[in-house]
């Protein structure tokens, strides 16, 4: 069914997704910095996010089916509502609880947040496929949605760190819940009727795996791509930078919160800006799907040497030093540039490969692989940092980037 005003629908979906990702980024930074300051080990910090990623795997399989049954608007509303509920529950965390109780509680809340995030993501990305105009509009619309979303999430990283330093953990969580509730009310009032996405009522749950081998190969490449990022992004680099930048005093810890949050925000914002510009970086909107697929493989290869070079730099330095910090910041920003182009091309290709009549299922399967990569990266982030420090963390990222390139090469097989 056609939407009476597709541009207004796209704007409403984008605004809802922005609000959600702002809170998602802030919540991640709040949890990471709060519990690192409380003395949690890298592995314990990784555990806080594991159920979040596991929930993403399950949700993406179910979300495509749910959206196809009940419509994309319903799953978008559900994602926002679940995130509000997760924030309200997290505000009940008691600092007097034991480490074990705190980890289990936060894991459970993060699991709900993971369900919420992937409901919102699948709904928004699938809507673009169905709303974008013909004649080259798809790449531009998906690049803008993905890029702007990550810029907003980057602001969320800085917002979370700033709120933790200025207002404290509980007040920050309550404030985000209230703002997100207002956003949900606005979306309920202004999202146009008729947002598509439902499929035939007899569509089977068992049809979760795509019938197109290109979708399956792209999903495998996506799994390792996001594993390559999260293996250093989730625990390794934030913990390392906080160790380097804090002098151990309360004022020093607060200053480190701002600096670490600022870097993570800068990385995500720059990543989002590059994603939005990806169609121009790749040579314009008139290229064929086959040409873009070949370029996806080339950019996947370009990512591989970066984390290996950074791991070598850390090994050569032997200990933290100002020059090493500068090299890591510059190198990780360059990693972010190449990673962003890879991610944006993937986001276009999944919608180009996916069939309109089952787009929610194909997108759900693809983002299930995305969540599996984040889960793998999150687990290895804590383990590799605790076992071998930052060099092992970055070397693991290089191995997974190489695996992503090898999987992407399969897209060129007839």
Domain boundaries, the chain: 6-194+209-412
The arithmetic mean of pLDDT across residues 162-175, rounded, is: 87
Q: Which of 310, 86, 112 is nearest to 177 (CA)?
A: 86
Q: Which of 39, 124, 42, 41 is nearest to 78 (CA)?
A: 124
How far apart are alpha carbons 245 and 400 in whole angstroms? 28
The arithmetic mean of pLDDT across residues 380-409, rounded, is: 94
**pLDDT grade for 400, boundaries at 50, 70 and 90:** very high
How far apart are alpha carbons 256 and 331 in whole angstroms? 20
For 334-383, the pLDDT digits (tens) are 999 999 999 989 888 887 786 656 666 777 788 788 888 988 998 898 89
The arithmetic mean of pLDDT across residues 204-233, rounded, is: 82
Q: Which of 267, 327, 231, 271 is nearest to 259 (CA)?
A: 267
Lowest mean pLDDT among 42-46, 131-135, 150-154, 323-327: 131-135
Q: Which of 412, 396, 276 is nearest to 348 (CA)?
A: 276
Residue 98: partners with Cβ closer than 8 Å, 6 or more residues away = none
Helix-then-strand count for the chain, H and E: 13, 0
Q: In 3-42, which positions are buried (b, 16+ CB within 10 angstroms) versus exposed (e)? A: beebeebbebbbebbbbbbbbbbbbbbbbbbbbbbeebbb
pLDDT score of 356: 58
- For the entire predicted model, the pTM comes to 0.73
> What class does CATH assign to 6-194+209-412?
mainly alpha
Contact 261, 71 (CB under 8 A): no
Mean pLDDT comparison of 7-21, 187-201, 221-235, highest-scoring range: 221-235
Q: What is the DSSP string of 299-339?
A: HHHHHTHHHHHHHHHHHHH-S--HHHHHHHHHHHHHHHHHH
**pLDDT grade for 220, boundaries at 50, 70 and 90:** very high
**pLDDT grade for 136, boundaries at 50, 70 and 90:** low
């Amino acid at each position: 069914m056609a939407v009476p005003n597709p541009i207004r629908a796209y704007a409403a979906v984008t605004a809802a997704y922005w609000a959600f990702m702002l809170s998602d980024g802030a919540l991640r930074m709040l949890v990471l910095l709060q519990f690192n300051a409380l003395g949690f080990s890298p592995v314990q910090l990784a555990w806080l996010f594991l159920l979040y990623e596991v929930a993403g795997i399950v949700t993406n399989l179910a979300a495509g089916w749910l959206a196809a049954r009940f419509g994309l608007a319903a799953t978008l509303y559900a994602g926002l509502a679940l995130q509000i509920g997760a924030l309200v529950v997290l505000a009940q965390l008691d600092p007097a609880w034991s480490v074990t109780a705190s980890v289990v509680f936060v894991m459970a809340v993060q699991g709900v947040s993971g369900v919420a995030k992937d409901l919102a993501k699948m709904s928004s990305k699938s809507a673009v496929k169905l709303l974008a105009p013909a004649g080259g509009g798809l790449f531009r619309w998906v690049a803008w949605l993905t890029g702007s979303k990550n810029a907003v999430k980057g602001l969320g990283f800085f917002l979370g760190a700033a709120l933790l330093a200025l207002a404290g953990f509980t007040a920050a969580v309550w404030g985000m819940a209230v703002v997100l509730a207002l956003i949900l009310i606005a979306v309920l009032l202004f999202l146009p009727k008729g947002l598509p996405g439902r499929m035939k009522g007899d569509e089977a749950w068992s049809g979760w795996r795509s019938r197109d081998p290109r979708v399956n190969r792209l999903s495998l490449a996506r799994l390792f791509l996001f594993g390559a990022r999260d293996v250093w992004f989730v625990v390794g680099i934030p913990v390392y930078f906080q160790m380097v930048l804090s002098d151990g005093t309360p004022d020093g810890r607060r200053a480190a919160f701002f600096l670490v949050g600022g870097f993570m925000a800068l990385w995500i914002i720059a990543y989002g800006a590059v994603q939005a510009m990806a169609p121009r970086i790749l040579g314009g909107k008139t290229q064929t799907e086959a040409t873009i697929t070949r370029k996806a493989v080339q950019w996947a290869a370009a990512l591989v040497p970066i984390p290996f070079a950074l791991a070598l730099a850390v090994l050569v330095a032997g200990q933290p030093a100002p020059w090493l910090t500068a090299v890591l910041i510059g190198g990780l920003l360059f990693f972010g540039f190449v990673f962003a182009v890879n991610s944006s091309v993937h986001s276009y290709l999944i919608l180009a490969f996916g069939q309109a009549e089952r787009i929610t299922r194909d997108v759900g399967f693809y983002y299930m692989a995305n969540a599996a990569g984040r889960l793998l990266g999150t687990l290895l982030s804590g383990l590799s940092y605790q076992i071998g420090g930052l060099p092992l963390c970055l070397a693991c990222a290089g191995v997974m980037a190489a695996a992503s390139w090898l999987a992407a090469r399969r897209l060129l097989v007839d």
